[in-house]
Amino acid sequence: MSLRTLPILEIKGTPIERGRQQGEGACPQILRAIEHYREIIPKALNISWLDAIREARKFLPYGEEAFPQFVEEIRGIAEGAGVAFHEVWTLNCYEGLTEVRQQVWGCTCLAVRGEHTAAGHVLLAHNEDWNSIDRDDVYLVRAVPDDGPPFIGITYGPLLVNIGLNAEGIAVAINSVYPTDGRVGVPRILCSRAVLDARTIGQAIRACVPKLRAGGYSYLLADRHGELYCIETSATTHDIHYGEAGWLVHTNHYLSPRMQAVEEPGTYSSSHVRLNRARRLLGAQLGNVTAASLQAVLRDHVNYPNSICMHEDPDDPLYEREATLASLVMDLTDGIMWAAPGPPCQGEYTAHQL
Ligand SMILES: [Zn+2]
């Protein structure tokens, strides 16, 4: 059996040049994603595609004010793929488009620093769980920007790269969270892209919490010195948690009491199970953690199919089928990203040097 691997694109230059190269290189993935979301948005968000585009336009002035260079990158992605800017912009605003909550989507992140790892390295691991319709549209990007540090990361379809590792030794992974204070503002994907531009952990933290943001993620941040932070955010508030014990795990519910005050009521059962399971598995290997041992955590099947290695449930409607689309282990010390297509129990991790 031949195992799939994720394609990788090389991009460089100014924001518009990088965007064009991403748009050209990922044109098939981008066209397919736009076609899928034209179909999915009316079902998942209960608004028409044209209304979604109209709604997304309201976010544009906020994005341009906070992060004009990344809006430019999105313009380039549209140009490179030969599609309308507003269609690409709409997908980059997707998670902020409606107050009608879709199902709780996943993602599991773990960070661990030197004293707990076999080689003394800082490692950050992430399972990217999302709609399985995007499975074939995931790719890696290796970038050499004119205006920021080189980075390697993953994305899908026409989205900005939003999870990855940069040459300053800063890495970011994100979890969807479910606050009730969403509004028109700076789309959250611009913030996670901005973390990849950070040269210090302080800049990375600031990138997560610009003024007038539309919503928030929980960001797991790490630097090569072993500084580990979890920044839980919503549109109007945030909380900063430091990884004092030398390791952190996060899934899709808020851990901070301040943030729980704005969280949509729910049981978040899959999120709790994945969090506790990942903590337990990581806890058992502290002192001996390696990229391979984290990959084993990311392939865990307890609570299948809603496990850390998430599999789609064929009983769910097409637009609500969740699966792990890609799986990553980043070594901040050596600047290596191990990446596997999802679900990782069926894929092979390949090492990519920054
Ligand atoms: Zn699996």
**In 82-138, which residue ranges form alpha helices assigned H by DSSP?**
85-92
Question: Could you tell me if residue 62 is inside a domain?
Answer: yes
pLDDT for position 100: 54
pLDDT in tens, 168-224: 999 999 999 999 999 999 999 999 999 999 999 999 999 999 999 999 999 999 999
pLDDT for position 43: 86
Q: What residues contact 247, with CB distance under 8 A and at least 6 apart? A: 110, 111, 112, 113, 116, 228, 282, 286
Ligand 1 mean position to 327 CA, how many Å? 11
Chain position carrying tokens 């736009």: 34
* Host domain of residue 202: 108-353
Ion ligand 1 neighbours (CB, 5 A) are 309, 343, 345
Q: How confident is the model at residue 4 (pLDDT cuts 50, 70, 90)?
A: confident
Question: Could you tell me if residue 3 is inside a domain?
Answer: no
Residue 179 DSSP symbol? B
Ligand 1 mean position to 121 CA, how many Å? 26
Q: What residues contact 241, with CB distance under 8 A and at least 6 apart? A: 229, 230, 231, 232, 248, 255, 256
Judgement on whether residues 92 and 114 belong to the same structural domain of the protein: no
Number of domains making up the chain: 2
pLDDT for position 95: 87
The kind and range of the H/E element at 23 are: helix 15-25
The answer on pLDDT for 2 being more than 60 is: no
Judgement on whether residues 184 and 220 belong to the same structural domain of the protein: yes
Q: What is the value of pTM for the model shown?
A: 0.96
**In 3-state terms, what secondary structure has residue 347?**
coil
**In 3-state terms, what secondary structure has residue 18?**
helix
pLDDT for position 1: 42
Residue 256 DSSP symbol? S
Question: Could you tell me if residue 131 is inside a domain?
Answer: yes
The answer on pLDDT for 53 being more than 70 is: yes
The answer on pLDDT for 279 being more than 90 is: yes
Ligand 1 mean position to 262 CA, how many Å? 32
Chain position carrying tokens 């544009």: 60
Ligand 1 mean position to 311 CA, how many Å? 6
Distance CA 98, CA 340 (A): 31
Ligand 1 mean position to 295 CA, how many Å? 11
Question: Could you tell me if residue 1 is inside a domain?
Answer: no
239: CATH: 3.60.60.10
| Pairing verdict, β 170-176 and 163-166 | antiparallel
pLDDT in tens, 121-167: 999 999 999 999 999 999 999 999 999 999 999 999 999 999 999 99
CA atoms within 13 A on the CB side of 239: 10
Judgement on whether residues 148 and 240 belong to the same structural domain of the protein: yes
The kind and range of the H/E element at 108 are: strand 108-112
Ligand 1 mean position to 312 CA, how many Å? 10
What percentage of the chain reaches a pLDDT higher than 70? Answer: 97
